[in-house]
Amino acid sequence: MAIAVISPADALRRQNAGAVLVDVREAHERATGHAAGALGVARAELEADPASVLPATGAEILLICQSGARSMKAAQALDEAGYTRLASVEGGTARWIAEGLPLTRPEVDTDFYERYSRHLRLPEVGEAGQRLLEAARVAMVGAGGLGSPAAYYLAAAGVGTLVLADDDVVDRSNLQRQILHTDARIGVAKVESARIALSALNPRLKVEAFAERITAANVERLIADADVVIDGADNFPVRYLLNDACVKLGKPLVYGAVHRFEGQVSVYDAGRHRGEAPCYRCLFPEPPPPEAAPNCAEAGVLGVLPGVIGLLQATEVVKLILGIGVPLTGRLLNFDALAMRFRETRLRPDRDCVVCAPGREFPGYIDYARFCAGT
């Protein structure tokens, strides 16, 4: 049977005459406003068991969605199920609103549903997943090249709390890659500059800013309540310290590093998976000599490179919070910007690792600066 296509005004007239108007959008879509008097049933639910929500097959059923496509498909499915008086509303809720027809706006957090609407459309995220993101706490050490893109996208994605630790101030030389900061904020503490930028992007975000150099004395205070920790540091002492603290506290550590035209990303989760997942020390039991690993100030770095690596770090954080996909645990992803090539290296846990070997007690924090200096 051909499905009738009717205007919103005609749908309202028929509804007032006794027809059943069904909004087949998802609940999060209906939460921002729906045609007054419409029955809200997601398309998949409606098609799975129409008899549980609709009257007899001879009743007049009108289907409405956002623009008209889903309602037509729902009508076709109901036609196959034996319903005989069906119509799809042309232009959907968007046209209904444009024509000023009666609308119901539930008393809900409209900002939440509008801001994260594209996430809410993903079955792998949905409202439950978005609530997980909003309840999550992510600790990030470093508000520079890696921290800037990672923090921006985590804020946009809806992570509820970002704990930022960095004792540096914004310098003009940072602006080539550290996109959280602006020329007007040169001389401002990086964590404060980051707080300004991130809060402007997403006012729902809570930023806890610590203008501190991370040390063995404060690392646990900064990361103890975090669900995930991001390594956005640019030096080996902090990387080893973060690794050891995350193993001790059982926190997943999302690692990133850049050098000239190349970058690396991995997830070190040995604290929660002893003997199954490696830690940073499994890969680098000893730090390289300082002359073999100069920092960005000494060796330079392609400005866009930290953006690529930082975004990959943010992706891993979101996956870990939502529990979706396959994290980079046990894998080191190498990126060569000049060749535009990714290469993956498998990592295995070191059964004799001084920090994460199964059954081994935490050895305690060390003088990481001296350790990395080889003295």
Q: Which residues are catalytic?
A: 296
Give Cα 272 distance to the centre of its chain. 21
DSSP-H helix ranges across the chain: 8-16, 27-30, 43-48, 69-80, 92-98, 110-115, 117-120, 126-135, 147-157, 190-201, 219-223, 236-249, 280-283, 296-299, 305-322, 368-373
Structure tokens at 238: 């902090």
What one-letter code names the amino acid at 110? Answer: T
Q: Helix or strand or coil: residue 252?
A: coil
**Whole-angstrom distance, CA of residue 308 vs CA of residue 318:** 16
Of 163, 162, 159, 165, the residue nearest 141 (C-alpha): 165
Q: How many other β-carbons are positioned within 10 Å of the β-carbon of residue 147?
A: 31
Q: How many CA atoms lie within 13 A of 20 on its CB side?
A: 19
What one-letter code names the amino acid at 85? Answer: R
Could you give the angle at which helices 147-157 and 305-322 cross, rounded to 10 degrees? Answer: 40
User: Residue 3: which residues within 8 A CB-CB, separation 6 or more?
Assistant: 72, 75, 76, 79, 86, 87, 88
Of 251, 224, 219, the residue nearest 237 (C-alpha): 219
Helix (H) or strand (E) holding 103: strand 103-104
Q: Helix or strand or coil: residue 264?
A: strand
User: Residue 22: which residues within 8 A CB-CB, separation 6 or more?
Assistant: 38, 39, 40, 41, 46, 53, 54, 61, 62, 63, 64, 74
CA distance to 10, 296, 372, per residue, from 300 (Å): 66, 5, 21
Of 212, 216, 205, the residue nearest 137 (C-alpha): 205
**Whole-angstrom distance, CA of residue 349 vs CA of residue 330:** 8
